Amino acid sequence: LDAAQGFRAPHGIVVDLLERASALDEDQRDKLVVLLGPRGRWLAQQNPHWSDLVAPDTGDPSVWQHGSAATRRRWFRALRAQDPAAATELLTASWKTEAASGRQTLLGELATGSGVYDEDLLETALGDRSRKVREVALDLSRRLPDSSFGRRMTRRVQDWTRVQDGALEFTIPDVLDADAVRDGLDDPLPRAVEPARADRTYTDEETRDRARVWALATSAPLSAWLTPGTPIGDALDLEVSEHLRDVLRHARATAVDHQRDSAWASELLQRDDRTGSRVAGHAPPDVLVEHLRRMSARQPLLVDHFAALPAPWPADIAQKALTVLYTAAAPNSHSFRALTDLLARRAPFELVDLFDDAATRTDDLVRLNRFATAADILKLRRTLHEELS
């Protein structure tokens, strides 16, 4: 799709492309719509199953004033993409007249193009009577470290923590004030962060502290954990109480994703192989490449780390991924399939012969099939790029 942006699809395959479009992610769909040309975009608007592919005309305010909930959301999304501040101003003006479900879905559209112009509306939404609206507002507020919300969280980090003898110590209040509750610091720990464990139980006080440390570290600007002149690595090396260690690690990874902080992503990636795509995706490509080069070929399939590296991969990284697949014990696993698919779509074209060779050298029929399929996809991609160049 990237290589084809200067072309227009033949009219005879427009319907086939529209049928396939729903299976693509949003970025790919947008590129496909460009490829369809004016006739394809007109055709999409005639069919309710395809109309979502084409952004509505934001010059027609009647859609916002009188359209259905779904139509208004699509119109608002298009306006947000064109003029984020104008979209926020419009939603602010209609906020009191929107139903709770409308406030929730429209507020969620502010995830695209977040900026300082969102702050006042988010402050209002943090006190909304709907829990679901408050959850969306909290998630979006965490993406604005320089906002009033971020400054409140920075003060709480300063009030609740101290560094003593190489350790980060927490003093969590027993009772939170109304502002802290409004800012989500009394919310329960998400189940995804605290799965059931038969080998570990926590006291009521430890459970409460884990939830509040999670909420604080997820919401606070990452700079709040650093005193002037303190390197990020020194902050990460501080000892933490055992019952808080895992939630703090998960929370900081989430904060890196919200705040898109490449410096923190680089440090976390170098210290912890368990960081997933949320962290790896924000590390600079050269840092990620060096991380993958250091990785042993016999380590578990770190698919998230490979997935964060954009195409085309350096040849040695693609070769290492292929070696990892050779030594992996479970060719039927989802991770094995995912890494094979990534190789087929991101490996440099000159490795086609290596893939063919890999298929002939294995006695495992599953591996043989996966490697042969990857080789075929790589050959097809090479042909497409040659035709479009």
**pLDDT tens sequence across 246-272:** 999 999 999 999 999 999 999 998 887
Is 6 within a domain?
no
Beta bridge partners of 163: 168
Domain annotation covers residue 228: yes
My answer on whether 271 and 295 are in the same domain is no
Q: Where does the pLDDT of residue 355 fall: very low under 50, low under 70, confident under 90, or very high at 90 and above? A: confident
346 shares a domain with 266: no
Q: What is the pTM of this model?
A: 0.84
Q: What's the mean per-residue pLDDT of the chain?
A: 90
| Residues of the chain above pLDDT 90, percent | 63
- What integer pLDDT is reported at residue 361 of this predicted model? 83
Using DSSP's 3-state secondary structure scheme, residue 161 falls into strand
On whether both 225 and 290 belong to a single domain, the answer is no
Does 109 share its domain with 21? yes
Considering the domain architecture, whether residues 122 and 156 belong to the same structural domain is answered as no
Residue 1 lies in a domain: no
Highest averaged pLDDT of the listed ranges 21-35, 214-228, 338-352: 214-228
* Domain's final residue, options 226, 250, 277: 277
pLDDT confidence tier of residue 141, bands split at 50, 70 and 90: very high
Q: Is residue 4 in a domain?
A: no
Q: Do 137 and 39 reside in the same domain of the chain? A: yes
Residue among 4, 126, 48, 128 nearest 387 (CA): 4
Are both 293 and 266 inside the same structural domain? no
Closest C-alpha to 176, from 213, 147, 149:
213
Name the band, by pLDDT with cuts 50, 70 and 90, for residue 364: confident
Question: Which residues 6+ apart lie within 8 Å of 54 measured at CB?
Answer: 33, 41, 44, 45
Total count of domains within the chain: 3
- Can you give the pLDDT at residue 196? 54
φ, ψ of residue 169 to 5 degrees: the values are -105, 140
Evaluate if residue 231 carries a pLDDT over 70: yes
| Full DSSP string of 218-259 | HHS-GGGG--TT--HHHHHTSB--HHHHHHHHHHHHHHHHHH
User: Can you tell me the mean pLDDT for 77-106?
Assistant: 96
- Residue 235's pLDDT band (boundaries 50, 70, 90)? very high
Q: Is residue 5, in this structure, part of any structural domain at all? A: no
102 is in which domain, residue-wise?
Answer: 11-141
| Sign of the CA dihedral running 274, 280, 282, 285 | positive
Instruction: For helices 14-21 and 26-46, give the axis angle rounded to 10 degrees.
Output: 130
| Band of pLDDT at residue 59, cut at 50, 70 and 90 | confident
Judge whether residue 93 has pLDDT over 90: yes
Sign, CA dihedral 109-112-113-118, equals positive
**343 confidence band (pLDDT: 50, 70, 90):** very high
Are residue 355 and residue 320 in the same domain, yes or no? yes
Residue 2, domain member (yes or no):
no
Predicted local distance difference test score (pLDDT) of residue 71: 85
Instruction: Out of 119, 141, 163, pick the residue that ends a domain.
Output: 141
Q: Which of 232, 255, 277 is the last residue of a domain?
A: 277
Query: Under a CB-based contact definition with an 8 Å cutoff, are residues 63 and 75 in contact?
Result: yes
Task: Quote the pLDDT of residue 83.
Answer: 96
**Residue 126, Cα to own-chain centre: how many angstroms?**
23
Give the model's pLDDT for residue 275: 77
User: Are 126 and 33 in a shared domain?
Assistant: yes
Do residue 118 and residue 223 come from a single domain?
no
Cis peptide before 312, with omega less than 30 degrees from 0? yes
Question: pLDDT at residue 198 above 70?
Answer: no
**Are both 20 and 111 inside the same structural domain?**
yes
Does some domain include residue 3?
no
**Mean pLDDT over residues 148-176, rounded?**
96
Q: Looking at residue 2, what is its pLDDT?
A: 81
Please check whether residues 15 and 137 belong to one and the same domain: yes
